[in-house]
Chains A and B, each alone.
Chain A
């Protein structure tokens, strides 16, 4: 699983 995603929330 991809643990680190872009932080796409504000």
Chain B
């Protein structure tokens, strides 16, 4: 959806480069297992897709002659370090196994939970949020939110399905969207363009 917006409108207005780069970092840290484990064709294709789209978005926003001029750097002020440092520390302390790939995987789970924050802050500052941006954020939130249903199903049907780190992070991630979803639903019901209160 985001690539569609950027390519079709030649603009990344209202999109946080910080969030996009954090997602690229999330996917790099999480999908290192592409090199040493195979789960299914679907799983591999999606991992490669996420990596490719994340890097493509960052490339457009940073380097495309037209698109990069529409990036509002002054408004996208969230500091990377405030998200990366706590997540890295937490991953070093709270993990299932103290190995490089497992700690990086855990770091990616924590970082993904909060990676939307720069985007949410930017949107709060944006007067006219376009529909594609609002829909993109809604879909991103719904994506992990729907996982919760899947986790409940797997918990009930699979014997050794215990993933506390993933579950707590996923619920926290979904909760961060609660406020956004509330206003998204209000505006959708009223058939209005999304506006977030300051």
Q: What is the total number of residues of chain A having a CB less than 8 Å from a CB of chain B? A: 10
Interface of B is mostly: helix
- Beta-carbon contacts of A1-10 to B below 8 Å, as 1s and 0s? 1111111111
Count, A-B residue pairs, CB within 8 A:
25
In the complex, are the beta carbons of B97 and A6 less than 8 A apart?
A: no
In the complex, are the beta carbons of A10 and B47 less than 8 A apart?
A: yes
Q: What is the total number of residues of chain B having a CB less than 8 Å from a CB of chain A? A: 18
Tell me which residues across on chain A come within 8 A of B161, comparing CB atoms: 5
Tell me which residues across on chain B come within 8 A of A6, comparing CB atoms: 33, 37, 39
> Which residues of B in the span 1-56 have a Cβ within 8 Å of any Cβ on A?
30, 33, 37, 39-40, 43, 46-47, 50
What residues of chain B have their CB less than 8 Å away from a CB belonging to chain A? 30, 33, 37, 39-40, 43, 46-47, 50, 96-97, 102, 105, 147, 160-162, 166
